[in-house]
Chains A and B, each alone.
Chain A
Amino acid sequence: MANTINNIPTISELAAEGKHPEVLFWVGCAGSFDERAKKITKAFVQLLINAKVSFAVLGPEESCTGDPAKRAGNEFLFQMQAMTNIEVLNGYEVKKIVTTCPHCFNTLKNEYPGLGGNYEVVHHTQFLKQLLEEGKLTVAGGSFKGKRITFHDPCYLGRANNEYEAPRTVLEKLESELIEMKSCKEKGLCCGAGGAQMFKDAEPGTTEINIARTEQALETKPDIIAAGCPFCNTMMTDGVKNKEQEGRIAVMDIAELLQQAQDI
């Protein structure tokens, strides 16, 4: 039975019925708790439902991947988180994971295998690109036609894992006008949140990184700043507010853009 908006199972609920999802949606901490990021979660889930993907979430059994602890230098805490998560994932015989967070994506994909967690891990922009290419999702067209969109590369999707094209392919399907910032792809400027910076104040400097990045984005005179990471989303949203442009420019996740293009 396909998932519906009223029926989004956790993996344990499925297991109780003796079923396995094809793919596990790893929601991540931001996607679970942050009010803004929860909207991305909901948009992505809506897309999964539209595409009739058999998926489940871990729900209360999901825990931080350990990425911020690892990047802060606490390898102990990281590995405890990782091993606990791997035990859960292996217990449910998870084969494929999709996640809306590039940090979770990077950690699950690159750092879990060495600790016994071997899964096919994809970022949601890669997954959405595939669904579009397979015709499981179609864009009604219109709503973003001609809109100026600039894409902010998340470091942990781009440089960290060499994925620059999937999010752009999705944006092109929206028939929007994709405008690159002066630093993009391999040279994309960080939003300032990575490496556990999200959870602390920045060191003294002349400006904040998210402001510098927002300025680069604003140079493209965008209608929309597209992001592929809940943390980038927060940083860019704050940057746009700082520049008092929030009435004019929206910061939106690729999933949100695609979901809105579906609704029309």
Chain B
Amino acid sequence: MTAYIPNIAFAALFIVLVGLFVRNIKRIIRNIRLGTAVNRSDHPKKRWMHMARIALGQSKMVSKPISGALHVIVYVGFIVINIELLEIVVDGFLGTHRVFAPFLGSFYDVLIFTFEIFALLVLISVFFFWTRRNVIRIKRFWKPEMKGWPKWDADIILYAEVVLMTLFLTMNAADFWLQMIAQDPHYVQAGSFPISQWIAPLFDGMSASQVVYVERTTWWLHITGILLFLNYLYYSKHLHIILAFPNTYFAKLTPQGSLPNMETVTSEVKLMMDPSADPYAAPSTEPSTFGAQDVTDLNWVQLMNAYSCTECGRCTDECPANQTGKILSPRKIMMDTRDRLTEVGEFFNRGEEPNNNVLLGNYISKEELWACTTCNACVEACPIAIDPLSIIMDMRRYLVMEQSAAPTELNTMMSNVENNGAPWPFNQQDRITWREELKS
């Protein structure tokens, strides 16, 4: 019976930590569903292509070649090494060791070889990522919204990757060492260890049982670390590793310049402009808010965008308002949206009603919103097709249509449009004076 203790311990660990992860994912889905409806089920083929190109193919990442290349390495490494994870989990449940090796033959050597190469490449890339953040101090990583937790979060992720990769390589090194001395039939000859064979000599002079101890410890720490990291995602900006995919699938496919027409407004305007319309004939529509004051006024894609944001700051870097010292930062818009949504979600987790905070006011200020030129630079820059501009626009709509709180000059412009059909106080009849001026 005692022989099965590791299997049972592994099963318990796995079930508890994966269970917690599933609970967290369900909470995120519940929170995203707090958003209003928007139909993004059209053009499935186009959407798959969009996802394949931008998320799978990292096409926007590489527009910045250095961080793009580093990211591609870590991304491919992550995917490749996850194949190994599958074997580790099977081994954990069955109490086997390198269970895939007999089935895959020499291909198994190729796999392990590849994992090791990528583990090293990931370590190198992470070193560069950390250096860019903490030594070179690239400006976008040190903007005001990155103070405190977001800064910690970014570093923790890098440290976690270093720890996991080091554990993986040490585990392989101990395994390789044990394979070499060939005393324990449990450690079958399997795999090719281009990196960890250089770590293995560190164990020379240790007894076989000590090295088995190292191998077992690193094996357990590695898989526990991965399962803990899985649960860290919920508290972190790192959710993009999952959400980048649905995020690109459900992105807006119409030209970036098109700002959807509000249907609730259309029906009212039609009623207003048709003198023969009977206002009582139309079925009374549900009272809805024009624009967005809080996260629940935003649509679910916008909320998913917020969870997907990994705070890289490429949007803010490209933002003309931010570049010229205004307080607007598209990244902060996304972070605020996520933080407010998390706050609302926490109340639901406790079975309580959310507090009276609102996104527009408690998190995002009018000054930020009015600084936007709607130039779409942030939307274009986002490597995973997040649309901060749509949130800015929905909040402007709330300010103008619900609160009549536009800046005075804009009110003047709008009354000109209303009265003269132009943003300036000119007579509509004079729209063609240039024709007279042109005559020879």
Q: Does B356 contact A (CB under 8 A)?
A: no
Q: How far is the CA of A41 from the CA of B412 in the complex (A)?
A: 26
A171-217 residues with Cβ-Cβ distance < 8 A to B are: 186-190, 192-209, 211-213
B15 part of interface (Cβ distance < 8 Å): no
Which has the most chain A C-beta neighbours within 10 Å: B262, B320, B406, B430?
B320
> Which one of B17-25, B34-42, B394-402 is at the A interface?
B394-402
- A221 interface contact, C-beta 8 A: no
B269 touches A83 (CB 8 A): yes
Quick check: B439 and A6 within 8 Å, CB to CB?
yes
Given contacts A83-B270, A209-B321, contact A71 B431 (CB under 8 A): no
Q: Check B439 against A5 for contact (C-beta < 8 Å).
A: yes
CA–CA, A195 and B413, complex, Å: 12
Task: Contact check, A110 vs B255: say whether CB atoms are below 8 A apart.
Answer: yes
Q: Cβ of B430 and Cβ of A199 under 8 Å apart? A: no
A148 interface hit (Cβ, 8 Å): no
Q: Is the CB of B414 within 8 A of A5?
A: no
Instruction: Answer whether residue B160 sits at the interface, using C-beta atoms and an 8 A cutoff.
Output: no
CB pair B432–A32 under 8 Å, yes or no, is: yes
Which residues of chain A are near B406, meaning CB under 8 Å?
A: 72-74
Do B374 and A71 have beta carbons less than 8 Å apart? yes
Interface size of B by CB at 8 A reads: 74
Given the complex of chains A and B, what is the CA–CA distance between A60 and B434 in angstroms? 12
Return A76 CB to nearest CB of chain B, in Å.
6
* Contact between B377 and A205, CB atoms less than 8 A apart: no
User: Of A5, A71, A196, A204, which contacts B438 at CB under 8 A?
Assistant: A5
Q: How far is the CB of B233 from chain A (nearest CB, A)?
A: 31
* Contact between chains at B290 and A64 (CB < 8 Å): no
How many A-B contacts are there with CB distance less than 8 Å? 231
Q: Are B434 and A83 in contact (CB under 8 A)?
A: no
Do the beta carbons of A159 and B417 come within 8 Å of each other?
A: no
Q: How far is the CB of A152 from chain B (nearest CB, A)?
A: 12
Determine if A95 is an interface residue (Cβ-Cβ < 8 Å): no
* Interface pair A161/B439, CB less than 8 Å apart: no
Asked if B134 is at the interface of the complex by the 8 Å CB criterion, the answer is no
Docked complex: B376-432 residues within 8 A CB-CB of A: 376-377, 379-381, 393, 395-401, 406-407, 409-410, 412-414, 417-418, 421-424, 426, 428-432
Docked-complex contact B414 and A190, CB < 8 angstroms: no
In A16-57, the 8 Å CB interface with B consists of 27, 29, 31-33, 38, 41-42, 45-46, 57
Inside 8 A of A197's CB, which chain B residues have their CB? 373
Q: Which residue of B lies closest to A155 (CB)?
A: B375
Q: Are A72 and B440 in contact (CB under 8 A)?
A: no
B290: chain A residues within 8 A (beta carbon): 75
B267 to chain A, nearest CB (A): 10
> Within the assembled complex, what's the spacing in Å between the Cα atoms of A69 and B429?
21
Which one of A68, A74, A76 has the greatest number of beta carbons of chain B within 10 Å? A74
Q: List 24 A-B contacts (CB under 8 A).
A: A5-B439, A60-B429, A66-B417, A70-B259, A73-B397, A73-B401, A74-B414, A76-B268, A76-B269, A79-B269, A109-B255, A114-B260, A155-B374, A159-B256, A159-B375, A159-B377, A159-B380, A189-B320, A192-B373, A197-B373, A203-B371, A205-B371, A211-B324, A212-B323
Q: Given A79-B262, A209-B320, A209-B324, output 17 extra A-B contacts at Cβ < 8 Å.
A: A6-B439, A10-B432, A45-B438, A60-B429, A63-B422, A64-B423, A71-B396, A76-B268, A79-B266, A79-B269, A109-B255, A159-B379, A160-B255, A160-B258, A189-B320, A200-B413, A209-B323
